[in-house]
Amino acid sequence: MRQIELLLDRYGESHQNKTNVVIHAIAVPSIYFVTLGLLYAIPVPDLLAQFDVTWAHIIAIPVLYYYFLLSGPIGAAMTLLTLACFGGIAVLEAAGLSVWQFCLALFVVMWILQFVGHKVEGKKPSFLEDLRFLLVGPAWWWVHWLKRMNISY
């Protein structure tokens, strides 16, 4: 069995309850977005700023590399999600909203929802056992969509 299949199976063990699954379907991509938004808001040295490079851009590269190592289709899907997140950040800025304040507030709300989901599930969050599951969550979310499109992951 491939590593991605093992990770998804283990992650799925604590995500069986329909309410928890629905919560995670909303919260997981939201947390990915706000995490990028919070990284985006951290000031970078002038050398990087002159090229419009942020910490979110820098961190996204090894994260996407990890996803591509796990699975090409998941890597491609996560690249799309990452691009959508950067688009969302641009929308926040264009609307004159503080990216870090918006993302911090949504981060807190989404994590509360996640823990409510796990309370309903009756199982602890997977990442408490293995931090890799913080990255597996978005892949798990995508697998549902990839399966619906008949794309093997």
In a domain, 115, yes or no: yes
In a domain, 49, yes or no: yes
Three-class secondary structure of residue 153 per DSSP? coil
Where in the sequence is the domain holding 130, given as residue range(s)?
Answer: 3-9+18-148
**Pair of tokens at residue 112:** 């509360």
In a domain, 81, yes or no: yes
Query: 132 pLDDT exceeds 80?
Result: yes
- Triad 33, 34, 36: Cα angle to 5°: 70
The number of C-alpha atoms within 13 Å of 133 and in the hemisphere containing its C-beta is 18
CA dihedral sign of residues 99, 103, 105, 106: positive
More confident residue, 47 or 78: 78
In a domain, 71, yes or no: yes
Confidence of residue 99 (pLDDT cuts 50, 70, 90): very high
pLDDT at 32: 97
In a domain, 153, yes or no: no
